[in-house]
């Protein structure tokens, strides 16, 4: 078939589809609004159900599992594709058929940006609206960010969660906006609070406020998921088509374009969000959402600088070695690398390197935790571990009969384990899942250092038999009166590092504390003592 014949066949097919199946232009815009309301409401319902009381078998992580950037990043960094992430294939298929509709019809952050673009606009003339919706060099930044994240993931460092829109909005509401709303709504200090919450909340608010200056600034300039879908949408079957005979170049379509895709000219396919604003607002019916329109009406190539793209790739490749080079080396202790001994991961977490290669910093596990013990990490695991989950035992304890964090993890960074597997059975030789081991600072401990009776740690220890046991001793106080004390000790074979003892300790700076020593996920973290002599032998001598 000749090229003219193929175009004629496509035209006939398009008219038949439009006549039988496709809604008219105005209905498309209304249909988009219905989808936006539905998916935004669904996101918040699922996020609200990510609690220990409402979880059940609800697929609360479906938005994260359907995220193509999450699927691609974790596959590159960890070398595996978690089964739940196959939902991302649905979004890829939709993009290849209908274009970049996810950003405008489904993505909760994209929908919120659209909402704030409409309620926070400045008073602008038509010329100003057209100027702000023209393509800018700044809008290519998202493609360079995508290159950085993809190359970084290929080298083993998964950082997409910092800017991925689904991760960002989930983390923002989990650790910042929901706790803040609770305080405002209840009028009392919230018992659920998170470190780094103000930083995460500030970033999210800044993303929304930016819409006052440039509509959908995040989607146009920064979103790496939008960049990935933009690359895929270059091959989509449905596109915006302009009828040159009807077009009068009135530029009404430019004023309302969400993606700055230039629908009045050669539509930039990778930037078009399929918002249907241009189609609905065109006064001359010159624009339509068409099936396989002539290629001349859209621009498929990405106008990217080769040097900038190369620099982004180099930065991504250098990210992991430069970050991990800052970790202290403790090979004299038999460890491949050191990290903060207070870096305690949720039960069932993968070994640290594998965990960092799978965790997307979505903080779903933090949201579902019933005791508020899980917190966004600072720099305990280096810059690459920022906002990954860690246990902070002064805020809560990890319940021994709880496995919710593994149930909601969308990437398998925290394995799904049963309660029985977590508890273990030492009579059958099955060890429990250990998060770490408790230690005592005898100078702070009331029975050890201050001759004051206290058994809080032993009372709250959940293991059976108890990992914390006491030895009765008789001492003389300063007046020579005998007093009976129970001095606590730790059985490292029974201790699971749940932090109940540290949480219950009445001393402001706890006398009992948990470190990640002897944790189940790292065989090379077995307990051993390193004396000063051993340290001096491992260091080079001077002179």
Residue 256 lies in a domain: yes
| pLDDT of 169 | 96
Residue 485 lies in a domain: no
The mean per-residue pLDDT over the stretch 368-386 comes to 89
pLDDT digits (tens, 9 = 90+) for 293-322: 887 778 877 888 889 999 999 999 998 888
pLDDT reading at 102 higher than 90: yes
Residue 321 lies in a domain: no
Q: Is 156 strand, coil or helix?
A: coil
Report CA dihedral (277, 280, 285, 290) to the nearest 10 degrees.
Answer: 70
Q: What are phi and psi of 490, to 5 degrees?
A: -115, 130
Total domain count for the chain?
1
Alpha helix locations (H) across 359-445?
A: 364-368, 404-408, 419-423
Rounded Cα distance between 50 and 376, Å, is 17
**Across-strand partners of 489?**
469
pLDDT reading at 532 higher than 70: no
* CB neighbours of residue 131 within 10 Å: 12
pLDDT reading at 158 higher than 80: yes
At 489, the pLDDT band (50, 70, 90 cuts) reads very high
Question: Considering the entire predicted model, what is its pTM?
Answer: 0.87
Burial class (CB in 10 A: 0-12, 13-18, 19+), 203: middle
Residue 424 lies in a domain: no
Residue 22 lies in a domain: yes
Residue 419 lies in a domain: no
DSSP state of 415: -
* Closest of 114, 89, 91 to residue 102, by C-alpha: 91
Residue 165 lies in a domain: yes
**Across-strand partners of 289?**
240
DSSP-derived pairing of the beta strands 374-376 and 389-391: antiparallel
Q: How far apart are the first and last CA of the chain?
A: 85
pLDDT reading at 382 higher than 90: no
| pLDDT of 528 | 52
Q: Range of 130's domain? A: 3-299
What is the per-residue burial (b if ≥16 Cβ within 10 Å, else e) of 107-125?
Answer: bbbbbbbbebbeeeeeeee
Residue 275 lies in a domain: yes
């Amino acid at each position: 078939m000749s090229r003219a014949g193929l175009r004629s066949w496509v035209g006939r097919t398009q008219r038949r589809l439009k006549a039988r199946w496709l809604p008219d232009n105005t209905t498309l815009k209304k249909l988009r609004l219905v989808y936006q309301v539905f998916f935004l409401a669904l996101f918040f319902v699922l996020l609200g159900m990510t609690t220990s009381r409402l979880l059940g078998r609800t697929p609360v992580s479906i938005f994260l599992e359907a995220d193509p950037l999450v699927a691609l990043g974790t596959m590159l960094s960890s070398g595996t594709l978690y089964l739940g992430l196959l939902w991302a294939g649905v979004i890829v298929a939709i993009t290849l058929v209908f274009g970049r509709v996810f950003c405008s019809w489904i993505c909760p952050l994209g929908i919120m940006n659209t909402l704030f673009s409409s309620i926070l606009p400045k008073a602008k003339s038509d010329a100003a609206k057209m100027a702000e919706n023209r393509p800018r060099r700044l809008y290519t930044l998202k493609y360079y960010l995508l290159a950085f994240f993809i190359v970084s993931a290929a080298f083993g460092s998964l950082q997409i969660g910092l800017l991925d829109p689904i991760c960002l909005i989930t983390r923002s509401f989990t650790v910042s906006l929901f706790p803040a709303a609770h305080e405002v709504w209840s009028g009392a200090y919230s018992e659920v609070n998170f470190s780094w919450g103000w930083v995460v909340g500030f970033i999210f608010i800044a993303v929304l406020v930016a819409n006052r200056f440039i509509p959908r600034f995040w989607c146009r300039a920064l979103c790496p998921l939008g960049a990935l879908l933009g690359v895929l949408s270059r091959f989509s079957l449905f596109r915006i088509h302009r009828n040159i005979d009807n077009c009068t170049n009135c530029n009404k379509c430019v004023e309302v374009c969400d993606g700055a895709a230039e629908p009045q000219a050669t539509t930039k396919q990778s930037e078009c969000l399929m918002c249907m604003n241009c189609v609905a607002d065109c006064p001359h019916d010159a624009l339509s959402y068409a099936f396989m329109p002539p290629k001349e009406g859209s621009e498929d190539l990405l106008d990217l600088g080769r040097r900038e793209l190369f620099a982004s790739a180099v930065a991504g490749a250098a990210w992991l070695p430069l970050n991990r080079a800052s970790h202290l080396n403790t090979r004299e202790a038999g460890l491949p690398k050191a990290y903060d001994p207070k870096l305690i991961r949720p039960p069932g977490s993968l070994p640290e390197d594998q965990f960092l290669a799978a965790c997307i910093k979505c903080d779903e596990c933090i949201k579902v935790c019933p005791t508020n013990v899980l917190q966004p990490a600072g720099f305990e695991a280096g810059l690459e571990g920022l906002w990954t989950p860690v246990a902070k035992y002064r805020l809560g304890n990890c319940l021994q009969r709880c496995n919710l964090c593994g149930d909601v993890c969308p990437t398998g960074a925290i394995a799904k384990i049963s309660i029985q597997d977590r508890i273990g059975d030492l009579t059958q030789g099955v060890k429990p899942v250990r998060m770490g081991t408790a230690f005592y600072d005898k100078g702070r401990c009331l029975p050890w250092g201050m001759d004051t009776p206290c058994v809080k740690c032993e009372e709250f220890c959940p293991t059976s038999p108890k990992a914390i046991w006491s030895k009765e001793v008789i001492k003389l106080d300063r007046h020579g009166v005998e007093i009976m004390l129970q001095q606590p000790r730790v059985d490292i074979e029974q201790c699971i590092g749940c932090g109940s003892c540290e949480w219950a300790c009445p001393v402001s700076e706890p006398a009992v504390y948990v470190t990640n020593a002897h944790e189940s996920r790292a065989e090379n973290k077995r307990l051993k003592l390193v004396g000063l002599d051993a340290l001096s032998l491992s260091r080079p001598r001077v002179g």
